[in-house]
């Protein structure tokens, strides 16, 4: 049975609205019951706590989503927002990729603990691979697992004929990224740095790429930035560097 102290702690945490503490004490009661040979009761209590924890976790997720408004004004034409429910189990991954992805998720989940040691989690990912190999799906899973909104950047509307305009649009996106923590997906990012584009107007596209790289380097937000491409060879080498170094990860 629960001790008097445990009962008091349960009542107090309930009054404080401190759910984690409430469940932790309930787990202690279950552990004590198990030690006293009441294994059936102990298991029932553990199951109950786990079920309630999961339910309150889902509520917390919904609550954290509500404050994120749809991107407004011009930003609305540059970003699509979604709240994926995708999970790691939805992906079929080789062992190496599975490990890397789990590592990224772990670091993101432990970012407060890392910060205490002056470290930052991996937050820039470059996904490369042929069409249909799961690049977009991976971005959805990362957002789903972390309970973050997924903002997909519409590069077709970001890129205009006018370099100044494109840079201003990129700035809007990077401002949003610093303001609202989320997973930001630059799909088909080769459009920004590819040789294909460079053939048209070398000087212009170089400047677009440079401003993108500069925004990337300057960004110290808590958002996760994912760039995806089918044409890794087309990418200017410079594009890879902020992903490789600066807490980056190249997932091929």
Ligand X SMILES: Nc1ncnc2c1ncn2[C@@H]1O[C@H](COP(=O)(O)OP(=O)(O)OP(=O)(O)O)[C@@H](O)[C@H]1O
Residue numbers at the binding site for Mg ion (CB under 5 A): 135-136
Q: How far apart are the first and last CA of the chain?
A: 54
Residue 80 interacting with ligand X (CB under 6 A): no
Q: What residues contact 53, with CB distance under 8 A and at least 6 apart?
A: 19, 23
Contact yes or no for 57/145 (Cβ under 8 A): no
Evaluate the CA torsion angle 174, 178, 180, 181 in order and state its sign: positive
132 binds, among ligand X, Mg ion, none (CB under 5 to 8 A by kind): ligand X
- The residue at minimum Cβ distance from ligand X is 134
Contact letters (x/-) for ligand X, 122-141, by CB under 6 A? -------x-xxxxxxx----
137 binds, among ligand X, Mg ion, none (CB under 5 to 8 A by kind): ligand X
Structure tokens at 135: 């690049």
Give CA–CA dist 188/72, Å, rounded.
24
Between strands 79-82 and 150-153, the pairing is antiparallel
Contact letters (x/-) for ligand X, 89-128, by CB under 6 A? --xxx-----------------------------------
230 binds, among ligand X, Mg ion, none (CB under 5 to 8 A by kind): ligand X
Contact yes or no for 227/189 (Cβ under 8 A): yes
CB of 82 to Mg ion, least distance (A): 14
CB of 128 to ligand X, least distance (A): 9
Which residues make up the interface to ligand X (CB under 6 A)?
A: 91-93, 129, 131-137, 230
């Amino acid at each position: 049975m629960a001790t008097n102290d445990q009962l008091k702690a349960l009542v107090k945490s309930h009054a404080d609205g401190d759910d984690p503490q409430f469940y932790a004490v309930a787990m202690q009661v279950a552990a004590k019951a198990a030690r006293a040979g009441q294994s059936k009761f102990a298991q029932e209590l553990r199951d109950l706590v786990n079920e309630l924890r999961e339910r309150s976790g889902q509520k917390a997720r919904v609550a954290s989503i509500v404050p994120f408004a749809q991107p407004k004004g011009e930003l609305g034409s540059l970003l699509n927002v979604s709240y994926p429910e995708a999970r790691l189990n939805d992906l079929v991954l080789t062992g190496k990729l599975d490990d890397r992805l789990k590592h990224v998720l772990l670091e993101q989940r432990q970012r407060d603990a890392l910060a205490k040691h002056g470290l930052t989690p991996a937050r820039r990912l470059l996904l490369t691979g042929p069409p249909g190999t799961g690049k977009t799906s991976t971005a959805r899973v990362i957002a789903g697992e972390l309970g973050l909104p997924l903002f997909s950047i519409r590069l077709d509307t970001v890129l205009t004929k006018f370099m100044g305009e494109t840079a201003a649009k990129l700035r809007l996106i990077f401002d949003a990224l610093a303001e609202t923590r989320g997973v930001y997906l630059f799909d088909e990012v080769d459009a920004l740095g590819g040789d294909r584009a460079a053939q048209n107007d070398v000087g212009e596209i170089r400047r677009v790429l440079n401003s993108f790289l500069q925004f990337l380097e300057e960004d110290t937000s808590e958002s996760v930035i994912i760039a995806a491409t089918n044409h890794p060879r087309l990418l200017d080498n410079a594009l890879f560097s902020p992903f490789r170094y600066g807490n980056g990860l190249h997932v091929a």
